[in-house]
A and B are shown apart, each in its own frame.
Chain A
Amino acid sequence: MKRISFVSALALSLAANASFAQTEITFWHAMGGALGDTVNQIATDFNASQDDYQITPVFKGTYEEALTAGIAAFRAGEQPNILQVFDAGAATVIGAKGATVPVQDLLIDNGVDFDIEDYISGVRYFYADSEGKMIGMPFNSSSPIMYFNENALEEAGVEAPKTWEEFENTTAPALVEAGYIPLSQSHSPWIFVENFFSRHNLPFATNNNGYDGADTEILVNSDEIKMHWSNVKEWLDEGYYNWYGASWDDNQTPFEEGKVAIWLGSSGSFGGLMAKDLPFEFSATYLPYWEAITTEPTQTFIGGASLFAMSGKSDEENAATAAFFQYLTSPEVQYMWHRETGYVPITEAAYEMAKEDGHYDRFPAAEVGIQQLSLPAGENTAGYRMGFYVQIRDVMNREFGRILTDETSVEDAFATIETEANDLLSRFAMTQQ
């Protein structure tokens, strides 16, 4: 389409067909299935809400595929206006200064009121730079929470465990007795590493978890997490835990089938679980912590993804992007997104709206994610920023698989993860020069 100036576009829109004058923008995302339907709904509603802009969402596959597609398109000069990038890709896209227009600048330049304090504390700084400027808009933010089969717990006569000690000594043996596999979880690097560090307020990497520089080293080879994983392996051997491979769904399915009583997943899984009409009652609560490590557990990191405004676009198109972001962060849209999917409402206002509407009286489990993100913060809980993090997660997944299939020991696995991750980090630092 021909680029036409905003003024002449306005003039034309008076004279001719309204759709001709609209500024068209594209939005590449990785939201499949029911999530994708909700994204399409939001886009349709946005297009219907005004006449100046037209947004087209395009599903690009998994998070990894969407990021790679966005990078390839950027290098070819064909980038979309908005690209959804997941937590593990944050360092890549934020490190490439000039690839994106910081969301905070974009909104302010286009006359949108922006106050970072409007966002809930857990999501505020994850996609920010070291000065605290928001670079990516934390569109779909989730948190790892503990889902449980209420019928199973009742049968076994136990409550959802608050600590891992309670799980190990009370919950798991009772659930085994009642004929259940007590525990599964869907994302070892996210739930059993990253959020292990934030839940216990332990430093995950040097340089303020990687925010303050590229010469970061990971602090993953620590006694606390090795203690955790030694226990996880013991749970596996005793039948307290089962591992169904590195893929998300393989670990969620046995919970849905009622074989596994407790499943650690994403708060963003809530909508999907509700829609499935499971043959049992389920609820959710906070991720457990180790009392042996801390008695004051802190909030978790967010997972999910954020939206980046790609650079190299005209002012009109950037104005359209800003308008879409404004629409997206409005309490009504955020509440709708939260209600349909289970992702947390990212602004205080949307959270208030959900409360007032009685959403949490109807579905108490829907509030767990945001409550957990609003727990007391610590100096290590804002997030982490590490390059080549997709590969670092792959290294973790590989070594955890090897621990759980008796191919390696916890001690060796974490030494390997530390070496390979630091190697990747120093390689990434060299790409940034």
Chain B
Amino acid sequence: MKRAGFSTRWLPIMLLLPQLLIIVIFFYWPAWHAVRSSFFLQDPFGFGETFVGLKNYASLFKSSAYMRSAWFTLFFVVLVTFFSLAIALLFAVKADKVLRGAKTYRTLLMWVYAVAPPVAGVLGVIMFDQSWGPATEFFALLGYDFRLGVNYYDTAFAMVVVSVWKQLPVNFIFFLSGLQSIPRSVREAALIDNRSASSRFWDITFPLLAPTGFFLLITNITYAMFDTFGVIDVLVRGEPGNNPLTLVYKVYVDGFRGNDLGGSSAQSVVLMVLVLAMTVFQFRMVERRIHYT
């Protein structure tokens, strides 16, 4: 087969240029600035700055608040990723079996996708309101005094619930299409070999869903770390207080609320390194073991 190609040199360069410019202006340039200012302490108005070397990083890792936020982020990411994948998979498997009214079910399950994170946060505030939230009243029936914004763990619970709920439809859509792309012949062959539905699922369906699953795993980790900002911002209602904060939200609190540009830049550099490590992990470890068909 003949390789398709450009006859001139400058045409591909010209075609790539807009994209490259966008990457340079909107990614590399700000990233460079973040790296640079993480080594400085700077007057918020930009009048003076002092080079402090690694001091910003050092004070991060000896700050108990930062470490607390890092641990919270770890647990938060694990919980949100696990539950939003597990529940979405369950829904997808069940919806896949529905024959009558399948489209209606699917549409209803996807609806939440249209809800923006801050709106999801507002719904969370309403559900968990201290004096009249339906969820709070439900907990009161069980004899538990649920207090959003007062108790650290209660607030964390609300954050996880709202974030999982918000992410379910995306995972559901992907799992459903993943299930539907498994060839009917494979399933029918499995049906002859094994009568148990659950072991058929774990032996045949689940491994065949692996490519979708791993793709979702990565996007869900990213979602839990970064895109839950809106949910958290609304749930803490303007006062970080003793509420749990993810690392991304802490960058915002220290940088944009507290005007500590150096410290906040150091935090975003730490996040950049984390994302870089995750990307390397994804390509090196995971993609090699997963076979896309």
Residues of chain A touching chain B, judged by Cβ–Cβ distance below 8 Å, are 62, 64, 67-68, 71, 74-75, 92-93, 95-99, 243-248, 250, 253-254, 257, 388, 390-391, 394-395, 397-402, 404-405, 407, 416, 420, 423-424, 427, 430-433
Contact = CB atoms under 8 A, between A and B. Distances in A.
Contact of B257 (A244, A390, A427): A390
B72 to A, nearest CB: 13
A96 B44 contact: yes
B141 to A, nearest CB: 20
Contacts of B7: none
24 contacts: A64-B257, A71-B44, A75-B46, A95-B43, A244-B130, A245-B150, A245-B239, A245-B241, A246-B242, A247-B237, A247-B239, A247-B241, A250-B237, A390-B257, A397-B239, A399-B242, A405-B242, A407-B152, A420-B63, A423-B59, A427-B262, A431-B42, A431-B262, A433-B48
Interface in B122-140: 130-131
Given A250-B130, A394-B253, A401-B243, 17 more contacts: A75-B45, A92-B44, A92-B259, A96-B47, A243-B150, A245-B147, A245-B150, A246-B241, A250-B237, A388-B258, A394-B240, A399-B242, A420-B63, A427-B262, A431-B41, A432-B48, A433-B50
A92 B52 CA distance: 20
A427 B41 contact: yes
B121 interface: no
Interface residues of chain A: helix, strand, loop or mixed (majority): helix
Contact of B52 (A67, A96, A243, A430): A430
Interface of B: 41-50, 52, 59, 63-65, 130-131, 147-152, 237-243, 253-254, 256-260, 262-263
Contact of B254 (A391, A397, A416): A391
A78 B237 CA distance: 29
Contacts of A397: 239-242
B241 A427 contact: no
Contacts of A423: 59
Nearest to B52: A430
A253 B131 CA distance: 10
Contacts of A420: 63, 65
Given A245-B150, A398-B65, A68 B240 contact: no
A4 B93 CA distance: 71
Contacts, number: 123
A205 B138 CA distance: 47
B259 A67 contact: yes
A265 B256 CA distance: 26
Nearest to A254: B131
B270 to A, nearest CB: 17
Nearest to A89: B259
A404 to B, nearest CB: 8
A401 B150 contact: yes
A248 B262 CA distance: 29
Given A71-B259, A390-B258, A405-B152, A99 B242 contact: no
A63 to B, nearest CB: 10
- Scoring A246, A248, A400 by chain B CB atoms within 10 A of each residue's CB, the highest score goes to A246
Given A71-B259, A244-B149, A391-B254, A398 B43 contact: no
Nearest to A74: B45
A176 B76 CA distance: 40
Contact of A401 (B49, B59, B242): B242
B260 A427 contact: yes
Nearest to A68: B256
A244 B48 CA distance: 40
Nearest to B253: A394
- Scoring B43, B59, B131 by chain A CB atoms within 10 A of each residue's CB, the highest score goes to B43
A245 B148 contact: yes
Contacts of A75: 45-46
A123 B260 CA distance: 28
A423 B258 CA distance: 14
A74 B44 CA distance: 10
Contacts of A254: 131
Nearest to B153: A405
A95 B43 CA distance: 9
Nearest to B257: A64
Contacts of A427: 41, 59, 260, 262-263
A383 B70 CA distance: 36
B238 A62 contact: yes
B260 A388 contact: yes
Nearest to B239: A246
Contact of B149 (A95, A97, A247): A247
Contacts of A244: 130, 149-150
Nearest to B254: A391
Given A96-B45, A97-B47, A99-B47, A68 B259 contact: yes
B241 A401 contact: yes
A67 B256 CA distance: 9
Contact of B150 (A248, A388, A405, A432): A405
